Structure 1
Amino acid sequence: MQQAADNTPRHSYEEGHQLIQQNYKVFRTLLSQAKDLAQRGKYSAAAVYGQMAASYAQSNHCGLFVSHELEQLIIMIGRQATSPNLYPHNTSALPSNPKNILHVSSIAPECAGIPRLMRRWIQQDSLRSHSVVLTKHAPNEIPQILRDAVAQRQGRIYLLNEKPGGLLARAERLRECAASADVVVLHTWEHDIVPTIAFANKKQSPPIIYTNHGDHWFWIGANVSDVVANLRESGMGLSQERRGIEAKRNMLLPTILEPFHRALSRTEAKRQLGIDENSVLLLSIARAVKYKTSDGTTFADAHVSLLKQYKQAVLVVIGPGSHEDWSAAIEQTQGRIQVLGETPDTAVFYQAADIYVDSFPFVSITSLLEAGSYSVPLVSRYAHTSAACGIFGADMPGLTGNLIRVSDLDGYEEVLSRLIENEAYRLSLGEMTRQKIEETHWGSNWQSSLENVYANAIALPRVVVPSDSTDKIFLGEPDIFLPLIHKTSLTQIIHWHMSLLPLMERLHLWLRLIKKNGLRNTPSNLLMPEWLRSRYYRLRSR
């Protein structure tokens, strides 16, 4: 179900066009610095600048969804700077049915989608042993539910940044963890280069599956991944068209969901939440960043007119907390917009909901699927008509045919009005949505998709790294919209990565930043290496 009309202002195209070229220049500067350090044999520092370049390209789109130049540099660093014979993998003895699976993630926060997917994968794939490696998680606590899932599968959890050493040391530890794995599954942050360094030598690496969580971002790992497991059709298309993933290696793996069964009726759930049982509850759940104000209109503002028209309607939004100022909209609706911070305990809210409204401008597909699993009808805004912009919308195998997508606020309000007024339509659409999700994302139905991904990863020849490739930026859709949606300053990215640099490079960079930005804007704690900072904050938290 989709209504469409492209109402994007012309100035957005022009601004995006300009920003891509500006961002690409910064990216090339970081890449050149990484190449120069590598040529001088300073591989540890080169790796950090390579990750800075990846981080910058991810959060400041520069017309690329993959950089083969950057990946080739990282792979060269992995081959030159780490011991090729340390923890080799016996690829000639791979079983046709893998038994030992190693999941690799950057961090595993309790409320985020990636650790939930990883944990559900481990729980569902019950006939195999599963272990987890986290490249950057220390000193944070690992969610107990993830610990329990790994323990039940006779696996272990490894933290790579607990010990001294930078990115190269972590890569060697990762290769050690993977020495006995039949398959490695990457769930890492898009700019995390540790797996690419670790598995630079494909002849000594296990099969690698890249789980394409961030299909709308630039990401690292295309040149070491034997199979890319895309979670939705639009991401799958982009992987082939813009990342050069071969069709035989480009697969669809629906997001795994644990079966959701109602413990409460809608009326009972509303009572528990202190919400009038006769109200029509609109619910939205996502991380704060997905509700970023767009063109001066907040997510809450988009619902004011509707809530004024329907006095029985209430909007509850979980995730933003105090990150966005929605006080004006809350006041205009007499407090019928309620905003909460992130929480892992969302089941009662889903069971109370009459209608689920997707986050905007960033969609939250996992939350859509979870809401639909409770027979809640789903509505998502999609502001583009171009097929190239499909990655900006909410699409997923289990949502096809039932998710209502609208392009503008008028259409959005019209759809929500019909759902509020017509209870029978609401209930019927919600039940059809649940049935489709169950057929695609639950239990044995999902397991069959996973078995196909494993089989391809084992059977296909290991991916061949391109010998030479030159990046070329793209200035059309969807690229021109991405710089307008998200941006992070170069200074911030440098601050995030300074603690990974070797001491002398860290000190020289710190002094350059002081000269440029002043001592007040260049704190001395940037000189502390990350592993020591992790230990320090862990001790403070006890």
Structure 2
Amino acid sequence: MNLQPNHAQVDNKSAAFLATCSSQYSLLVHRMDDLHRKSSPEAVLTWIELIAGFAATNHSGIFADGSIENIALDIGCDLPKAEGLSPRPLPMLDGARPGRTVTRRVVHVVTVVLPVGGHTRTILNWIRKDLESEHSLILTRQGSSPIPPEILKVVSLSGGRIISLSETLPILQRAIWLRQLAPQLGDVAILHLIPDDIVPVVAFADKTDIPVGLVNLGDHCFWLGSTVADAIINLREISISANKELRFTRNDLLLPIPLYENVQRLSRSQARSQLGISESQIVILTVGRAIKYAASRRQNFFATVNTLLLENQQAHLYIVGISEQDHMQTNVLHGHDRVHFVGKISDPSTYQASADVYIEGFPFGSQTALLESVLPGVPCVRAVSPLSPLLAASDVALNGVAQVPADEQEYIEQTSEYITDAKKRGQVGQKLRQRVLFWHVQDAWNDALDKAYGALAACRHSSTPIPADKPSTRSVDYAISEYHGTRFPRDNNETAIEDLVRQNILDASYALRQRGCYLDAFRFIQAANYRRFWDIRSASLAAKLIPHRTVTMLEQLQIRWSGGKQ
């Protein structure tokens, strides 16, 4: 993968966005040094999560950084000695284990499972397809979000359990529980994390009895976990080459995205009957979250498909994942009588079964959605020459069959050909279906899973510090910045980024207050208002903290007056 800067392709506004985010990242790391000296481990870990969350969604020219993750590793190594932890019992391991013999016990450590999205479907299909193992889930940040019924069902059928660690509890407490629970529930731990989840880093910082594999769910962005992962489980080959250049991984494995085909799946006619779509209608389908379609400086999906629909009057476009309200900010396609905004749905399979052709959205494609949509025998058109290969589908099943369009015109031409040529549509659709079945549904996937389990079983778990890194300006950095910059339409984003960071710090302060870390929460408010006037929210938070802060200071003075004896 080309990571060298190509200044001829660098957009000045994207470069400015990257520079602004890099500056904010460096400032946050610098402030952490002061927090590390003055604050509790809980506050330091909260600040690390804040930095990681910012870097993951506002690209700062960095994909992994020992200057923050190694501190969490050190805290984790001293976890039993962490101060300020009130003893609490472990969550109950309730539920009877069914009397069946299994090859292994797998504990999936998951930040959160949501009703919509490829990450949840990856976990669901993994458990569905791995019938030889018992599967349990430990959720580190599920909160009040309901666990999808399908997840509850497949875990129960496998003989496993689901334990949710309350996100209102201290990070340190959740890490202690995770460290103790994981070996009780599994012979191997598989991490499915959002980029800023620090709990598993702290929990697996010390030696444990089970190996740890981390699923690479975000190869395009910053994430935590390289220090504690005995192996990275990559869902596509491009992730491995990116890891070697962008991260500090020790061992990279390949496991294609697991897909599951329901034997009772709907036919095209049945699906259309349920949706009220006529047999003669040409259905173009695309699936993805609204942010993935936001126009970048160089690419505008909605303008492109507007041209496509003008040239193909018989075609209708169905967009699953975006509602009409989501799309209100742009006039392109708004009110179009052949564009159907379906909104978010937990199971898009009925629309996938009804489609004639699937088109990948841009600037950020949805690989799981594309592969699932191809499975019924539907041809696909891949995203227009992506800003970065990491921002589009890249899969062995597509190679040699579905070529990447070089530009907008070729994207329209490929789609138009499938619209008008039913024979080619059927031939290419069936060829793609067979390849997706082979790599993602049938025995080849289970063979890859067995290899991954074998590689992990051969590992003796260890945690290793990673090098500190600095923000860079490679071509991949400019590309990711152009995509992330779609959330900030103004030309000058410095103030918007500063406001975002400030609000994130105040949110972290509130979280610390909820965990009883009042003095640390007050310090966060001070950091949020560095060189700025205090707004109403800051003043309100501080007012609620001042009584607790006063009590804490008096307790510290009392200890000093008594010579350290309470």
TM over 0.5: yes
Distance 1:74 1:261 in 2: 46
Query: Cα distance, 1:284 vs. partner?
Result: 0.6
Query: Cα distance, 1:255 vs. partner?
Result: 0.5
Instruction: Say if 1:362 and 1:522 are closer, same or farther in 2 by CA, change over 3 A.
Output: farther
Distance 1:527 1:156 in 2: 42
Amino acid at match of 2:160: G
| 1:505 equivalenced with 2:520 (yes/no) | yes
1:51-70 equivalences in 2 (<5 Å):
51-70=49-68
| 1:241 equivalenced with 2:256 (yes/no) | no
Say which SS state the counterpart of residue 507 (structure 1) adopts: helix
Distance 1:299 1:525 in 2: 42
Among candidates 291, 294, 302, match of residue 292 of structure 1: 294
Amino acid at match of 2:451: N
Among candidates 380, 383, 403, match of residue 385 of structure 2: 383
Distance 1:460 1:504 in 2: 42
Residue 307 (structure 2) aligns with: 305
Distance 2:19 2:327 in 1: 30
Residue 323 (structure 1) aligns with: 326
Q: CA RMSD in A?
A: 2.7
Q: Is the 8 A contact 1:167 1:500 kept in 2?
A: no
Distance 1:523 1:426 in 2: 62
Residue 450 (structure 1) aligns with: 449
1:180-195 equivalences in 2 (<5 Å):
180=184, 181-195=186-200
Query: Cα distance, 1:304 vs. partner?
Result: 1.4
Q: Is the 8 A contact 2:204 2:463 kept in 1?
A: no
Q: Is the 8 A contact 1:226 1:463 kept in 2?
A: yes
Larger mean Cα displacement after TM superposition, 341-350 or 183-192: 341-350
Residue 256 (structure 2) aligns with: 254
Amino acid at match of 2:520: E
Distance 1:345 1:473 in 2: 39
Distance 1:273 1:118 in 2: 28
Query: Cα distance, 1:116 vs. partner?
Result: 1.3
Among candidates 344, 348, 351, match of residue 349 of structure 1: 351
1:274-293 equivalences in 2 (<5 Å):
274-293=276-295
Distance 1:297 1:455 in 2: 43
Query: Cα distance, 1:299 vs. partner?
Result: 2.8
Residue 551 (structure 2) aligns with: none
Query: Cα distance, 1:342 vs. partner?
Result: 0.5
Instruction: Say if 1:229 and 1:517 are closer, same or farther in 2 by CA, change over 3 A.
Output: farther
| 1:104 equivalenced with 2:102 (yes/no) | no
Among candidates 189, 195, 201, match of residue 196 of structure 1: 201
Say which SS state the counterpart of residue 62 (structure 1) adopts: coil
Distance 1:288 1:435 in 2: 30
Instruction: Say if 1:405 and 1:519 are closer, same or farther in 2 by CA, change over 3 A.
Output: same
Note the residue ranges of structure 2 that are not aligned, 5 or more in a row. 1-5, 90-101, 486-496, 546-566
Among candidates 66, 69, 72, match of residue 71 of structure 1: 69
Note the residue ranges of structure 1 that are not aligned, 5 or more in a row. 1-7, 88-96, 530-542
Larger mean Cα displacement after TM superposition, 453-462 or 422-431: 453-462
| 1:30 equivalenced with 2:41 (yes/no) | no
Instruction: Say if 1:362 and 1:82 are closer, same or farther in 2 by CA, change over 3 A.
Output: farther
Instruction: Say if 1:323 and 1:463 are closer, same or farther in 2 by CA, change over 3 A.
Output: same
Instruction: Say if 1:289 and 1:327 are closer, same or farther in 2 by CA, change over 3 A.
Output: closer
Distance 2:460 2:544 in 1: 43
Distance 2:117 2:53 in 1: 19
Amino acid at match of 1:506: A
| 1:120 equivalenced with 2:119 (yes/no) | no
Residue 94 (structure 1) aligns with: none
Distance 1:327 1:199 in 2: 46
Amino acid at match of 2:61: G
Query: Cα distance, 1:32 vs. partner?
Result: 2.8
Distance 1:354 1:444 in 2: 28
Q: Is the 8 A contact 1:498 1:526 kept in 2?
A: no
Residue 143 (structure 2) aligns with: 138
Instruction: Say if 1:303 and 1:19 are closer, same or farther in 2 by CA, change over 3 A.
Output: closer
Distance 1:240 1:483 in 2: 21
Larger mean Cα displacement after TM superposition, 393-402 or 213-222: 393-402
Q: Is the 8 A contact 1:122 1:130 kept in 2?
A: yes
Instruction: Say if 1:526 and 1:105 are closer, same or farther in 2 by CA, change over 3 A.
Output: farther
Instruction: Say if 1:522 and 1:433 are closer, same or farther in 2 by CA, change over 3 A.
Output: farther
Among candidates 158, 164, 171, match of residue 167 of structure 1: 171
Query: Cα distance, 1:27 vs. partner?
Result: 1.6
Instruction: Say if 1:35 and 1:207 are closer, same or farther in 2 by CA, change over 3 A.
Output: farther
Say which SS state the counterpart of residue 486 (structure 1) adopts: helix
Distance 2:264 2:544 in 1: 49
Instruction: Say if 1:525 and 1:324 are closer, same or farther in 2 by CA, change over 3 A.
Output: farther
Q: Deviations over 1:2-40 (max 9, x none)?
A: xxxxxx995844444443333223222222333333334
Q: Deviations over 1:247-269 (max 9, x none)?
A: xx111100101124574443442
Distance 2:299 2:245 in 1: 33
TM-score, length of structure 1 as denominator length: 0.86
Query: Cα distance, 1:291 vs. partner?
Result: 1.5
Residue 45 (structure 1) aligns with: 43
Amino acid at match of 1:219: W
Amino acid at match of 1:330: L
Distance 2:319 2:483 in 1: 21
Instruction: Say if 1:397 and 1:523 are closer, same or farther in 2 by CA, change over 3 A.
Output: farther
Distance 2:317 2:543 in 1: 45
Q: Is the 8 A contact 2:110 2:137 kept in 1?
A: yes
Distance 1:299 1:156 in 2: 42
Distance 1:408 1:463 in 2: 46
Residue 220 (structure 1) aligns with: 224
Residue 429 (structure 2) aligns with: 430
Distance 1:519 1:359 in 2: 40
Instruction: Say if 1:155 and 1:267 are closer, same or farther in 2 by CA, change over 3 A.
Output: closer
Amino acid at match of 1:425: K
TM-score, length of structure 2 as denominator length: 0.82
Identity value in percent:
27
Query: Cα distance, 1:83 vs. partner?
Result: 4.4
1:508-523 equivalences in 2 (<5 Å):
508-510=523-525, 513=528, 516=532, 518-520=534-536, 522=538
Query: Cα distance, 1:432 vs. partner?
Result: 0.3
Instruction: Say if 1:408 and 1:492 are closer, same or farther in 2 by CA, change over 3 A.
Output: farther
Residue 413 (structure 2) aligns with: 414
Amino acid at match of 1:183: V
Q: How many residues in Structure 1 have an aligned counterpart in Structure 2? A: 503
Among candidates 478, 502, 527, match of residue 476 of structure 2: 478
Amino acid at match of 1:304: N
Residue 90 (structure 1) aligns with: none
